[in-house]
Structure 1
């Protein structure tokens, strides 16, 4: 799936994207994540990458000193900008091409982005994040666990271990979407070179990771 196709899929999903958080079986997990994000990012100057519709931005803004929320998709960002949030700014930005900002932020949050980064590119992504933001910045990453009966079925796995799902957009168009589901040990191995103080909280439907950029 090319970046252009990926962006096209999420542009078509922008208007209905937040419905993914309406599944009844996931409400207890989501309540826990909202609470934990508020605690972890309280008082921080936060850079959010891949903010989507701003669903999690709204939670972060309640306790953070400031939030700069970015996304590469104009359609998603348009919905995010409709939210009235305190101490929050929005900008169109590619997570791979962030402007140098050493000393500007004390924390960076990436919700549901990690699973869309190819396994062979994840360490490079972390390295460029460290180069752009500087050391000791708090990294908070959140993503999905795979759960039979609740998650979209994995359609195939490539030679590098990346897994893909087949999804249908609201217009009826079919897309193959990269969606990886890492184990705790895999995450620790991938983050070891770029971060320290790695902590992982795994819930039934989601996982939450915190670390410090080296």
Structure 2
């Protein structure tokens, strides 16, 4: 699994320069959708963004948060994000989320298109980490892809969460991809002590909000 996750980081490092166009197509339309979703989710105060990528979501977060700490394991993506988002209330860090540590606590932890890249074997570890990083009454907000669009990926034979991706230059990589089944995710998080609500956004995305169960208001 460590080797697979290293390949995943390598993939996003190599993809950074082409990510916006290949992930979103119409970047201007994506910005409008992102701004709408961020407004609906209402992140505020101290925000941690995990897997910030090229900063399109960071751009929207800094407009509504007091401070944003944005982390990503791909230096090439962080360089693009730093150039894009020049706000004084954001701090970028190059970091692997599975080993990153901080004494800070956050009112909101946000990630887009990241949860689906968390291996099932590290799912509980990841959510335990999120709980430790949340301030009292904090929330986890996330965007990801619905299981209904799973067919767009080519899964490696004999696996249920490893897909093969190619870059424009022909480079081939294997990464983790677990599309979100809203009910299954809500049930699993409930069993782990979280209250989670997931809504659809269009035919392809979901948006979710999770809180430690005792803080659901």
TM over 0.5: yes
1:132-175 residue CA offsets vs partner (Å, 9 max, x unmatched): 335532100111124559833444452xxx32322112321111
Is the contact made by 1:98 and 1:132 (CA closer than 8 Å) also made in structure 2?
Answer: no
Separation (CA, whole Å) in 2 of partners of 1:143 and 1:121: 17
TM-score normalised to the size of structure 2?
0.83
**2:209 aligned with 1:213, yes or no?**
no
Is the contact made by 2:49 and 2:58 (CA closer than 8 Å) also made in structure 1?
Answer: yes
Is the contact made by 1:166 and 1:177 (CA closer than 8 Å) also made in structure 2?
Answer: yes
Unpaired runs of 5+ residues, structure 1, are none
Counterpart in 2 of 1:184?
A: 182
**2:1 aligned with 1:2, yes or no?**
no
Counterpart in 2 of 1:14?
A: 16
Q: Secondary structure at the match of 2:60?
A: helix
Counterpart in 2 of 1:68?
A: 69
* Aligned counterparts, 1:87-126, within 5 A: 87-102=89-104, 104-126=105-127
Counterpart in 2 of 1:163?
A: 161
Unpaired runs of 5+ residues, structure 2, are none
**What root-mean-square deviation, in Å, do the aligned CA atoms of Structure 1 and Structure 2 show?**
2.6
Counterpart in 1 of 2:198?
A: 200
Separation (CA, whole Å) in 2 of partners of 1:143 and 1:108: 14
Separation (CA, whole Å) in 2 of partners of 1:157 and 1:44: 44
Change in Cα spacing, 1:153 to 1:5, as seen in structure 2 (3 Å) is: closer
Give the structure with the higher percent helix: 2
- Tell me the CA shift for residue 209 of structure 1: 0.6
